[in-house]
Structure 1
Amino acid sequence: MSTVPTLSSTTSPTATQLVFALTNVYNQFSFKLSVDGSKYKLWKRIFLDMCKGAKVHGHITGKSLLKGDDDENWEAIDSRIKSWFYTTCDANLLHIISSDDCTTKDLWDKLTKFFLNNKMSHMLQLQEQFRNTKKGFSSITEFCHTLKNLVEALADCDSKIDEIELVM
């Protein structure tokens, strides 16, 4: 039988208490991070804030280290954080970044490397898609929504579309 540590009102909660008190992580996100990386910056910001709020930021930075082969508390926390990846990332992306016996830091590093290494090609692809998007038979609302999504995806790649270009 597994029990979740309860939070005490008289002392500051521990990382173990906070990490296990944080349930339904997928409710923090209105999307799943996908291979296209269009929401990577937003996902990263939310994920970092969750880790900092649960006092487990060291698991993704590498500052929190396993204290030995029998450090069950560290392993439990690390496994819990990895489950946050599993619920907030698309299955195709998880196949690329995860492996047996990987740690939270491994997942974080592989994810960062995956998106930063593909940044330039992704930006060029999005810029071309933005410039070639036509209204066609779509409604003006659908057309504007498509352009807005492309502008946000380009911003995630550090490529800004100024307002004049957007209007043109």
Structure 2
Amino acid sequence: MSIPTDSYAAMGSTPSAKKLAFALTNVYSQFNFKLSVDGSRYKLWRKIFMDMCKGAKVYGHIIGKSKPTTDDDEDWHSIDSRIKSWFYTTCDASLLQIISSDDCTAKDLWDNLSEFFLNNKMSRMLQLQEQFRNTKKGSSNITEFCPNFKNLNNGK
């Protein structure tokens, strides 16, 4: 992560969540992929995203421990919007259409992703069956082909 905490340490103060969240730039560089509807990398994406939020002291936003003090709590809404932008940067547009709404929070996005990938067993099973049927060896050799099957269910 590219959070310049050294400059805060030199000043003798601990950076606030707002400073850390806004200091975290180029979030996409933490991921070498975008999370897609197939969910093949959900487990990895979730781990990186959680660590990123913990490092920026905003983990409470995605698990629901952090709540606005008032309806117009600008600092809370500012941080929450920043976290939502991390979702927008690291998730495929088709997945975002499924999990987001106009007034959703970072916690809503987090929960909707979990629901989509972890609690959707029957539809996930049908999706995997379809992927198994459509996976073709083609011109790839066995060492290239076999990991395709393993990767179909990664993160579930």
Question: What is the TM-score with the length of structure 2 in the denominator?
Answer: 0.84
Determine helix, strand or coil for the equivalent of 2:28.
helix
Within 5 Å, which residues of 2 pair with 1:7-86? 7-9=7-9, 10-86=12-88
**2:3 corresponding residue in structure 1:** none
Distance 1:94 1:49, change over 3 A: same
Instruction: Work out whether residues 39 and 153 of structure 1, in 8 Å CA contact, stay in contact via their aligned partners in 2.
Output: no
Name structure 1 gaps, 5 residues minimum.
Answer: 1-5, 158-168
Give, in angstroms, the shift of residue 116 of structure 1.
Answer: 1.7
Instruction: Work out whether residues 126 and 154 of structure 1, in 8 Å CA contact, stay in contact via their aligned partners in 2.
Output: yes
Measure, in 1, the Cα distance between the counterparts of 2:41 and 2:23: 26
Determine helix, strand or coil for the equivalent of 1:139.
coil
Give, in angstroms, the shift of residue 152 of structure 1.
Answer: 2.8
Within 5 Å, which residues of 2 pair with 1:97-116? 97-116=99-118
Q: Deviations over 1:120-158 (max 9, x none)?
A: 54346536755885534x131xx533421330332422x
Measure, in 2, the Cα distance between the counterparts of 1:36 and 1:129: 9
Measure, in 2, the Cα distance between the counterparts of 1:69 and 1:125: 40
Instruction: Work out whether residues 62 and 106 of structure 2, in 8 Å CA contact, stay in contact via their aligned partners in 1.
Output: yes
Measure, in 2, the Cα distance between the counterparts of 1:112 and 1:154: 15
Instruction: Work out whether residues 7 and 17 of structure 1, in 8 Å CA contact, stay in contact via their aligned partners in 2.
Output: no
Distance 1:12 1:117, change over 3 A: same
Larger Rg: 1
**1:154 corresponding residue in structure 2:** 153
Question: What is the TM-score with the length of structure 1 in the denominator?
Answer: 0.79
Measure, in 2, the Cα distance between the counterparts of 1:156 and 1:26: 19
Give, in angstroms, the shift of residue 14 of structure 1.
Answer: 0.9
| Equivalent residues, number | 149
Structure of higher RCO (CA pairs closer than 8 Å, 6+ residues apart): 2
Measure, in 1, the Cα distance between the counterparts of 2:146 and 2:23: 39
The code of the aligned residue for 1:8 comes to Y
RMSD across aligned positions (CA)? 2.2
The reply to whether residue 139 of structure 1 matches residue 135 of structure 2 is: no
Give, in angstroms, the shift of residue 117 of structure 1.
Answer: 3.0
Name structure 2 gaps, 5 residues minimum.
Answer: 1-5
